[in-house]
Amino acid sequence: MRHATAATETMENNSFTVTDLYKICTHCERLSKKDLGVSIPRPLGNGPSRFIPEKEILQVSKVDPRVQSIFEDAFAALGRLDNISLVMGFHPQYLESFLRTQHYLLQMDGPLSLHYRHYIGIMAAARHQCSYLVNLHVNDFLQVGGDPKWLNGLDGAPQKLQALGELNKILAHRPWLLTKAHIEHLLKAEEHSWSLAELIHAVVLLTHYHSLASFTFGCGITPEIHSDGGHTFRPVSLSQYCVCDIANGNGHGNDLEERRGSHQVSGEVEVLIERMKQLQECRDEEEASQEEMATRFEREKTESMLVATAEDEECVQSRDVSRHFEDPSYGYKDFSRRGEHVPTFRVQDYSWEDHGYSLVNRLYPDVGQLLDEKFQMAYNLTYNTMAMHKDVDTSMLRRAIWNYIHCMFGIRYDDYDYGEINQLLDRSFKVYIKTMVCSPEKTTKRMYESFWRQFQHSEKVHVNLLLMEARMQAELLYALRAITCYMT
């Protein structure tokens, strides 16, 4: 690390003035004296994530040849390696499945044209104000020949895409309100109507990007340096460190991270492991009746309404992307608030495995299989570790997380004891889950750091993968059930 010395003279170029108010190292000073008249961008962020140290993310590809190979393949296919992939690199098995599925949805043969696919991605990401994903697909949309006028706002897009706005809105925020009437409206819109195959493709894209927006905010993904909002031309100073140190993650920003361990809750992991053992023993000793299981589900669903999403000034403000969707005031609302009643969605009546999978595969061949592999990968992924503990069976914890998310959407598994959720998921974790799944744009670094404080960043990324895939499957279940109702 090069410590900085104050500049001894003023140097000017077309972009900025460097004075003795700024501290720069001798290497940067030597370069700046050349004064080539070129504006050099500097990253605004400190690595791919605001939540995870850059060195920890980049270390993964250095020690795992498989990750390096996946990154190379992704770069060859897309001409870029985005920060989402870098963070997902903690879990190469999942990343491989994710990239394969996303590539198929966006680039392989399918019912929708390429520019429609990217525009639907923009519409979906915009519902959660995810300017990162919006900007990514604005560029892709233009590269595949999309009409720039469509980017002025949804009202500039074809009527067929405008009609998709209602489905986008409901799926993103209140999927339990979706009915076959919404499906019929899209399929019988005369000259602007959708075919069933096109609608399936659109639904998968919408749910994919709603959930990916959750992951983006949940992991604090930052824009790449070449992207809108990812760079600045102004130099900065931080104590005795040069801007080049800050850009490379060597500044004081990591000191807080290094000291994080001193503030951890002692015994957090051991308590969680012990609770899992006790719950397993209770399972072996007695099994609750179906009536009791149903009561526990309703109790957990009601309690999930009382978990408030975050309202924090620390939220990173996104660029306004509301022109890409309609009714900006429409957002997440809990189920039975103000006396409203939504029937419980019973998985035994309509499940992904028995119903949704086959419907998707029939109308959009191979995609059902790709989605199923991705769901299974996230759900079953384990290294049998919890923080510093090895040889731990984490299946009970993973199932609790998955089922809690589905519970928030009113989806019930008859064979699951929802009493386990309160034993395994504390309130700070529930706040994080609900915020990331229902209002991801409100996710903050403080929330990310407040749960599982003794766990590794790779484990928290794994949690985010679970949340993302559980959310996507929940949305898909409601959409596919509505389509099935229309077809029958």
Catalytic residues: 130
CB within 8 Å of 11: residues ≥ 6 apart: 17, 18, 32, 33, 35
Both tokens assigned to 444: 């903050």
- CA 432 – CA 434 distance, rounded (Å): 6
Q: Which of 468, 467, 461 is nearest to 90 (CA)?
A: 461
Please provide the size of the chain in residues.
488
Both tokens assigned to 365: 């061949």
Residue that has been written with the tokens 């992924």 in this structure? 381
Q: Which of 124, 119, 121, 83 is nearest to 216 (CA)?
A: 83
E strand intervals along 204-287: 231-232
List C-alpha distances in Å: 143 to 139, 236, 281.
Answer: 6, 34, 58
Q: Output phi, psi for 121, to 5 deg.
A: -60, -40
- Contact call for residues 308 and 435 (beta carbons, < 8 A): no
Rounded to the nearest angstrom, the gap between the alpha carbon of residue 296 and the centroid of all alpha carbons in its chain is 29
CB within 8 Å of 255: residues ≥ 6 apart: none
- CA 422 – CA 399 distance, rounded (Å): 13
Alpha helices of 307-412 — where are they, by DSSP H? 357-363, 367-380, 395-408
Q: Which of 426, 441, 457, 468 is nearest to 101 (CA)?
A: 468
Question: Residue 402 region, left (φ>0) first, then alpha (ψ -120 to 50), else beta?
Answer: alpha
- Contact call for residues 450 and 264 (beta carbons, < 8 A): no
Both tokens assigned to 366: 């191979």
List C-alpha distances in Å: 341 to 336, 351, 410, 432.
Answer: 5, 22, 11, 25
